[in-house]
Structure 1
Amino acid sequence: MTERGDGPAGAAGGPSRHVPVLLGEVCAALEAKSGGTFVDGTFGAGGYTRAILDANPHNRVIAIDRDPNAITAGQTLVEKMKRRIDLVHGRFGDLDDIVKAQGLSDVDGVVLDIGVSSMQLDEADRGFSFRNEGPLDMRMERAGQSAADLVNEAPEAELADIFYHYGEERRARAVARAIIEARRKAPFETTKQLADLVATLIWQEPGGAHPATRVFQALRIAVNDELGELVRALHAAERILKPGGRLVVVTFHSLEDRIVKQFFAARTGRLSTGSRHLPMTQQARPTFEAATRGAVMPTEAETARNPRARSAKLRAGIRTGEPAQEPLSALTMLSELPRTADKRGGRR
């Protein structure tokens, strides 16, 4: 299967070969051939971890995944690679604490592949895909509030905000209103119920994405706090990388990429985060240097082999020797759902 991705092909789900996105570019940006200890914050099917280990026989990887299924499936690779992998069930937003729990004070590289994995999309019982009917779940950890809970319990205004801000769905209000009306008769339980409802409200362009694509993306992000987790992971990587260490992030849609782009802009000094009233001597010095010129995109050959890679963007930075800075409040604001309406039931 492919490693990760959103969009029409990704949302649809469907059996496919495992093809990690931008694999060569990720290993090059990490300088994995030079050797060291690396964190794979989104283990998935182990594509990046395996490539990092293959790049140098002395490499070690601390691999993290919040999905218990990925942890179980990854045990074969752990056994094969002996003591070169530590596979940890957890969230990559806590990667600095996870690294320290393994007895290390810093690492040489961190890679994050953001979004839902193909394994999750392709398993109907996980509820991520609208192509194959399954329970409306979408929980990466199989714990906590599900998508069904959110759809059946959230006020109309909150649902509209979720669809608009996390899914960039222009008909967010109409979808939210229709959900409220439909759930008065019966609760939503399956992916097909929700997808069918959305399809009656949003016109599908010939050859375009399924009408429910953006709604499902938005629910998944909200259920798993994906943007908040990304912000925490960026700051955690800054704290745990040694000088010269590399942070590599692969994103699949504009919401994620905007956060990563602004993080690197601020931490490389290209975007000022200090007060204009402070003298330059008091401004924080860059904690990263740019490792790439802008975003690295997949080649035409890769997207032809793996359509789910077409929206991928890679950004990378090299850690300087400056102390880690305080978390950027601007990024936290980008990751949170704007409160544009009274959550007691008002409309956007």
Structure 2
Amino acid sequence: MNSPDHLYDYHLPVLYQETLEALDIKPDGIYVDCTFGGGGHSKGILERLGPSGRLVAFDQDADAQANLPEDSRVLFIPQNFRYLQRFLRLNEVPAVDGILADLGVSSHQFDVGERGFSIRFDGPLDMRMDRRGTTTAKTVLEQFSEQELLRVFSNYGEVSNSKSLAKYIVTHRTAGHLKTVQAFKDFLHPMVKGNPNKYFAQVFQALRIQVNEELLSLQELLEQIPQVLKPGGRVAIITFHSLEDRMVKNFFKNGRLEPEEEHPFLNSTFKSPLTVITRKPITAQAQELKENNRSRSAKLRVAAKTDL
């Protein structure tokens, strides 16, 4: 098994104690870590599980497999968590006691320049979490129409000048401009509004969400949670931007992604399958904020499967 230090070099888990407490781990329970990454949260779950407990770990990034512990209680699924129910069924796991998802990008992904996630390092414009996929950030920038790029930058990055940015890219894009992170940043300079680093971060976030279909994957995960959780089971989700947090908040509250339309002549019989545990999201304490800059934007929300 890799040492804890190695795991934290790969990715320092945010809201570590808070998440483990929120899951209310039973020693003989079955738990799912949807985003295994460096294995930090999983390590904490395993420490609280007894010999008969089980952990199912999902991660679509092949690099994460290097962090797997030698532990017979762990079942690793090298897939996106959007396929949660499918792979639980394939492995004859009908229901689980808890689900954890630490969304976003791991520190490792940000820190390896060749992955193309970070504005700090030069490398190819890639941004694929699952490198088996064929769509990269370069593909999106080369092939998307002006209208499609406007949607990406506006919806996923909340970029202030999304319209003019999309038009600029489509009008001036060439292979050379889109080859590397640095070339793309140089190309974008005439369009930068305000703080360049903040602007680039918003543009890169938008591209990353599109490349990895992050919001669609989260939507599909949320819709499966009530079906795979045992009554009383807990789900804990850590988000890093408002788009994700809003989706999680609404789903935990309403048990569905779209609020039900009120009908003047009909009474709704729908009852949410989830009970909200955290009325307000849990955020990092002062010590963690000091030690881990990434925890600044982390929000943890927790719900339980309603015991019908």
TM-score, length of structure 1 as denominator length: 0.80
SS of 1:301's partner is helix
| Mapping for residues 1-348 of structure 1, pairs under 5 Å | 18-32=11-25, 34-58=27-51, 59-71=53-65, 73-75=66-68, 77=69, 79=70, 81=71, 83-142=72-131, 143-184=133-174, 186=176, 188-205=178-195, 209-267=197-255, 273=260, 275-277=262-264, 279-280=266-267, 282-322=268-308
Pick closer, same or farther for the CA change 1:156–1:272 going to 2, 3 Å. closer
The residue that corresponds to 1:332 in the other structure is none
User: Which segment drifts farther, 180-189 or 231-240?
Assistant: 180-189
Q: Could you say what the CA RMSD is over the residues aligned between the two structures, in angstroms?
A: 2.1
SS of 2:199's partner is coil
State the distance in 2 between where 1:91 and 1:278 align. 42
Residues 186-219 of structure 1: CA deviation (Å, up to 9, x unaligned): 45111111122233322444xx844311000000
Pick closer, same or farther for the CA change 1:126–1:18 going to 2, 3 Å. closer
SS of 2:252's partner is helix
Question: Offset of 1:184 from its aligned partner?
Answer: 4.3
Greater relative CO, 1 or 2 (CA 8 Å, sep 6+): 1
Amino acid at match of 1:26: T
State the distance in 1 between where 2:113 and 2:288 align. 27
Residues 75-133 of structure 1: CA deviation (Å, up to 9, x unaligned): 4x1x2x2x110011111111111112221110000011111111111111111112111
Unaligned runs of 5+ in 2: 1-7
State the distance in 1 between where 2:236 and 2:276 align. 11
- Percent identity reads 36
Amino acid at match of 1:20: P
Q: Where has structure 1 moved over 6 Å in runs of 4 or more?
A: none
The residue that corresponds to 1:338 in the other structure is none
On the 8 A contact 2:150/2:163 being kept in 1, the answer is: yes
State the distance in 1 between where 2:226 and 2:202 align. 31
State the distance in 2 between where 1:237 and 1:113 align. 15
SS of 1:317's partner is strand
On the 8 A contact 1:152/1:187 being kept in 2, the answer is: no
Amino acid at match of 2:113: A
On the 8 A contact 2:253/2:275 being kept in 1, the answer is: no
Pick closer, same or farther for the CA change 1:119–1:153 going to 2, 3 Å. same
Amino acid at match of 1:273: E
Q: How many residues in Structure 1 have an aligned counterpart in Structure 2?
A: 298
State the distance in 2 between where 1:84 and 1:319 align. 24
Amino acid at match of 1:174: S
State the distance in 2 between where 1:209 and 1:183 align. 21
SS of 1:212's partner is helix
State the distance in 2 between where 1:291 and 1:300 align. 23
On the 8 A contact 1:198/1:211 being kept in 2, the answer is: no
State the distance in 1 between where 2:259 and 2:293 align. 37
Question: Offset of 1:283 from its aligned partner?
Answer: 1.3
State the distance in 2 between where 1:245 and 1:257 align. 21
